[in-house]
Amino acid sequence: MSEIICKICNKSFDNCRSIATHINKIHKITSSEYYLKYVNDNNKCIICCSPTTFKGVELGFRKYCSSKCANNDKEIQDKIKETNLSRYSGSRCDESNKNKKINILNEIIRCKGCGRGYKVASGEFDLLRKMNLPLPHECPKCRENNRFLRLNKPTKLYNRNCAKCNVKIRTPYSPDRSEIIYCEKCYQQEVY
């Protein structure tokens, strides 16, 4: 890494952490204030002009305020169009796709669920190839939401009567099933 020079006092540093500490302690300003004043005064989203997040002295501010703005950028849209997901659609991650690994890891894929752009991680690709599974068509967030919905399906509750004291209770066991159903109090007496 090349040396970094403080634009206030011309002192040189060999890493970003050192100059960030120097700016804060010696010049009594934050790294983002230093960056805005002495390096680049652009901290606005190139799409909507909203403020963006500061990433550090070396990287500066983000180009976009959100993934929504990033997906609206013509440059990003062109990359997504170039991806041509159909090359990988329904294909398995077997030995014949080893050559495609480098290509798919560098491409931005549009999620079929939410439309956001995402990339397939190297570890994920290796796991899919090992298990001979197809490449995902949804971003990680949509896949997580789908897993959550599958795990937390709402259970239908039925009105039944306790077999012992005849009190009304709600249970996931339908009336046409043969199980004996107890209220909590009767169940505790029966078990203990």
SS3 for 84-146 is CHHHCCCCECCHHHCCHHHHHHHCCEECCCCCCEECCCHHHHHHHHHCCCECCCCCHHHHHHH
What pLDDT, on the 0 to 100 scale, is given for residue 134? 83
Element (DSSP H or E) covering residue 169: strand 168-171
What pLDDT, on the 0 to 100 scale, is given for residue 95? 46
- The b-or-e profile of 120-156 (16+ CB within 10 A means b, else e) is beeeebeebbeeeeebbbbbeebeeeeeeeeeeeeee
What pLDDT, on the 0 to 100 scale, is given for residue 86? 44
Q: What is the pLDDT along the chain (192 residues), one digit of tens a residue?
A: 467 888 889 888 888 888 888 988 888 888 888 888 887 767 788 778 888 877 777 777 777 787 777 777 777 776 666 654 444 444 444 445 555 666 777 888 888 888 888 888 888 888 888 888 888 888 999 998 888 887 776 678 889 999 999 999 998 888 898 889 999 999 999 888
The whole-model pTM stands at 0.37
C-alpha pair distances (Å), 11 with each of 14, 70, 179? 10, 36, 80
Q: Coil, helix or strand for 162?
A: coil
Element (DSSP H or E) covering residue 5: strand 4-5
What pLDDT, on the 0 to 100 scale, is given for residue 87? 45
Which residues, including other chains, have CB under 8 Å from residue 36's CB and lie 6 or more apart?
Answer: 43
Question: Sign of torsion, CA 55 59 63 69?
Answer: negative
What pLDDT, on the 0 to 100 scale, is given for residue 64? 79
